[in-house]
Structure 1
Amino acid sequence: METIVSTEENTSSDLEEEFKIPRPTTNIRSNNEDIAARSVSTSAQIHELEEKMRRKLQFFFMNPIEKWRAKRKFPYKFVVQVIKIVLVTLQLCLFAHNRYNHVNYTWDNRISFSHLFLLGWDSTREINAYPPGAGPLAVYKLDEFYDTLDYAFNGYANLSNAIGPYSYDNEDNNMTDPVFCVYNYKKGIINGFNESYEFNSEIVSNCVNFTRPVGELFTSKKHIEAAGMSINFAALVRAELMFSIKTINFRAAGPITPPDCYRFDVAIVFDNVDHDGQMSLTLEAEPFKLICKGDQAYITDNQIDQILRSILNIFVILICSASLLLCSRAIYRAQLLKELTVQFFLRTYNKQLSLDGRLEFLNIWYIMIIVNDILIIMGSAIKEQIERNQFTNDQWNVCSLFLGTGNLLVWFGVLRYLGFFKTYNVVILTLKKAAPKIFRFSCCALLLYAGFMFCGWLILGPYHMKFRSLATTSECLFSLINGDDMFATFSIMSKKSPMLWWFSRVYLYSFISLYIYVVLSLFISVIMDAYDTIKQYYKEGFPKSDLQQFIGEASIEEVSSGLYRTHSSSSLNAFMNSLFCCNVYRSAYSKIGGNSTLNIL
């Protein structure tokens, strides 16, 4: 620690100007005893202010338990975080259960619609197998295109044959006309025999209603021609057949939960954007939740269920808002104290507070808590709207993204309180120590990774299913780093090009050897080096910044002695005004203690 003053003369003149100690003008006494007395008095005042500043900083960096012992200060933020983690986890569990049922129910209905309306659909396509057990569902001939339309229309017309409780989208349950739309290039004529074409890239659409004829079989080709619509497959980009179906889910019913009512907007899509002779066929079913009109018992239960869920959502929003305000207030007060400390070091020791010392006042945990509070408040608001109104899968997914990420950060925040105990603080300190080295190491490793990724995508993409896109290439390489599915990656490579087959072997062996045996080993060694350093610090002591050296360590006896409660209500405004010549600091940090010294000044 640097000395407070260098010479007696400088001390006297600085303090006279600093604290506005009056200078003698007339009647000057060049008396050694008077000068010595004033010097002793001023040094005592500075020492007292230094002790008060030290106690203030010591109290600021205490954990909630130590603050309770020091000032009997109730740990509001800690209690709020405990209540929040309980409520948020309860809310997430309920929402996750409902969302799983919703997504699973809508997916199962999509599978049922595929069997009812898609020609050529079979059960093997319902399982996500790797490698895929079947190729893409597509049409290749003109007759297959019209047969697919006929199959879908007839399945919709005979909806009563389905096992599912499906109904048409109107009040009297009469069949509504499906809508068939085609999207074509404005002009697209191909003359392959003489390598000529006519083309206009503007896309135009044309739609027609499919009406069931009376007393005869529906034929889509005749119906399209009768409507004056002609399909030019050379210019066709996409075609869609759209209709809506209503249904009710009894499985959602519980002691206080009524059945759910849905409307599915079904679209059978013919995708011909590649113009490669293969028109892929997919079915999309977008669900919309409707307001049910059930019997009176379930209407009552619905109100109870909605009230209970709304109460939980409101409690979560309130507790997260309180947490947001408390943590924002703590960050603001920390910045005020940081500015006060910077000025104190500058005026008292004539030196700037180091960057490490300034960063001590920035609590990353509070920032993380503020982020998760914002995410949970937004997710809870969307959840409340989902439970009250008609929403689709997109809103469910956005809500789950907010609530899930917020809950993840909430549980991460528990590490802050475990960090108060040295036994559990090793992980946090190791990550903090290793973070800069890991960042620099990762930048170098990512450059190598990017080179392998682009190379594999370009060269192996047409011949290997794991390298067909940049995203799948990255996923494949990351899996190889972790030793996943290595043999399959080697064996799936096509042998159409012997040169590229041999290149794939060199490429894969090089990548696996480099990353598993070199990069991963170095990565682990960086973390282990940080871990060994932290263990050494526990034995020999952690390095301290200038701020930590000034603060020192408060013993358990000092914390519990009531020293921090003595003169805790005294104002620091006079001290700050005289020290900094300004009044920008708020009353939140106007309490360092001791009016006696301030009165002397």
Structure 2
Amino acid sequence: RITFSHLFLQGWDSTREINSYPPAAGPLAIYKIKEFYDTIDYAFDAYSKLNEAIGPYSYTDENNHMTGMQLCVYQYKKGIIFGFNESYIFDSEIEEKCYNITHNIYTEGLFASETYFKDIEFKFSALVHVNLKFSVKTVNLKAAGPITSPDCYRFDIEIKFDNKDHDGQMLLSLDAEPVRLKCKGDTHYVRDNELDLFLRSLLNFLVILICTLSFTLCSRAIWRAQQLKTITNNFFKLTYHRELSHNDKLEFLNMWYIMIIINDILIIVGSAIKEQIERKTFTSNQWNVGSVFLGTGNMLVWFGVLRYLGFFKTYNVVILTLKKAAPKVARFLLCALLIYAGFTFCGWLVLGPYHMKFRSLATTSECLFSLVN
């Protein structure tokens, strides 16, 4: 994203790459109609000179010929303002219109968007936002290492002109959505580490096998416990003419086993996704999904270690204390959460218009959490 911002976004500089507080520079924006067209011209000119970039970027055309851009305009159906007499004509329905930009710089000269769109009237008073879309392809050699081969990607780049506030400031931003492609054609990757690849796959399958065995044994233990609960309950009915209480029945449900079953499922799914990624089975990048499964499962595994500390006399006291205090701690946390939510909404509503740290609920919550810590 940073590379594409330097290449295609007019006015971008290195001070905007670091999220500092307070920010080193104000928001990247345009304020004049000419700047709007200049920004489109700058992006088109940079796209036409893609071969000048240091990165190995190519066009999406099979012959590596420059493909067209698409400009999508979102504006109110009617948005005419007469400031001199404080009147307006307004229809809040948003219309979307997309225009393809096809221009050959070798035969038609430099691209000028103001001339290209001379027959199209942009009503800036009614403009909500504009998106300039185009795509590039590349091969990522960074991923190439002792295990994995290079990956092929298509980046769907979108330059956004945000005018939803209608305050005379049109914000600029760039997004690049990566789409993983299946590498084809003339690909040659020398791999002298088949043993490493085999050991990596062996580790994945070993983890899946152990977790499957653990899942089976824990499920069997829970099933046997429920059978024992039924037998015990029937015995109390016949012998003492009463059933087990609710708390007594819960004694037959081992929550440690429930947690182990959950983390086994998470690790099995995460390891399977990891193995598929390493085998290049997925065309899209699934590392985010796999990391959530593996990370959550790993966390529950370490929680499960607390169970074994209960076998020691000293630590068992701590475990029993935590177990006894858990309901009261949960009630305390619920009350604290309500108070925290109250302060968050208060800060967002009161300080939001005046301070950048309180402009959204997310940033307000982060700021309050930092103060609590």
TM-score by length of 2: 0.89
Cα shift at 1:152? 0.7
The residue number in structure 2 matching 1:367 is 258
Change (3 A) 1:263 1:446: closer
Change (3 A) 1:272 1:255: same
Question: Within the alignment, does 1:431 sit opposite 2:301 as a pair?
Answer: no
Q: Distance in 2 between matches of 1:240 and 1:156?
A: 16
Question: Within the alignment, does 1:211 sit opposite 2:103 as a pair?
Answer: yes
Q: Deviations over 1:136-170 (max 9, x none)?
A: 11111111111111111111111121111212112
Q: Distance in 2 between matches of 1:306 and 1:192?
A: 69
SS of the residue corresponding to residue 286 of structure 1 reads strand
Say whether the 8 Å CA contact 2:138–2:152 is kept in structure 1. yes
User: What's the Cα RMSD here?
Assistant: 2.6
Say whether the 8 Å CA contact 1:324–1:369 is kept in structure 2. yes
Query: What percent identity do the matched residue pairs reach?
Result: 66
Please, which of 127, 149, 155 is the counterpart of residue 236 of structure 1? 127
Cα shift at 1:310? 5.0
Change (3 A) 1:444 1:165: closer
Aligned AA (2:153): Y
Q: Distance in 2 between matches of 1:267 and 1:350?
A: 73
Q: Distance in 2 between matches of 1:313 and 1:207?
A: 49
The residue number in structure 1 matching 2:365 is 474
Cα shift at 1:210? 3.5
Question: Within the alignment, does 1:196 sit opposite 2:88 as a pair?
Answer: yes
The residue number in structure 1 matching 2:267 is 376
Change (3 A) 1:311 1:234: farther
Please, which of 282, 307, 310 is the counterpart of residue 389 of structure 1? 282
The residue number in structure 1 matching 2:237 is 346
Q: Distance in 1 between matches of 2:20 and 2:341?
A: 28
Q: Distance in 2 between matches of 1:415 and 1:161?
A: 58
Cα shift at 1:175? 1.2
The residue number in structure 2 matching 1:278 is 169
Please, which of 439, 463, 475 is the counterpart of residue 354 of structure 2? 463
The residue number in structure 1 matching 2:155 is 264
The residue number in structure 2 matching 1:116 is 7
Q: Deviations over 1:443-462 (max 9, x none)?
A: 33334333333322222222
Please, which of 41, 44, 54 is the counterpart of residue 150 of structure 1? 41
Cα shift at 1:304? 7.6
Q: Deviations over 1:197-240 (max 9, x none)?
A: 13141432222223234252110111122xx4332112222211
Question: Within the alignment, does 1:419 sit opposite 2:310 as a pair?
Answer: yes
Change (3 A) 1:277 1:381: farther
Q: How many residue pairs align between the two structures?
A: 369
The residue number in structure 1 matching 2:223 is 332
Say whether the 8 Å CA contact 2:8–2:42 is kept in structure 1. yes
Higher helix fraction (1 or 2):
1
Change (3 A) 1:396 1:256: closer
User: Could you say which structure has the greater relative contact order, defined with CA pairs below 8 angstroms and 6 or more residues apart?
Assistant: 1
Aligned AA (2:115): K
Please, which of 251, 271, 288 is the counterpart of residue 142 of structure 2? 251
Change (3 A) 1:204 1:170: closer
Q: Deviations over 1:528-558 (max 9, x none)?
A: xxxxxxxxxxxxxxxxxxxxxxxxxxxxxxx
Give the unaligned 5+ runs of structure 2: none
Q: Distance in 2 between matches of 1:445 and 1:289?
A: 44
Cα shift at 1:117? 0.5
Cα shift at 1:381? 3.8
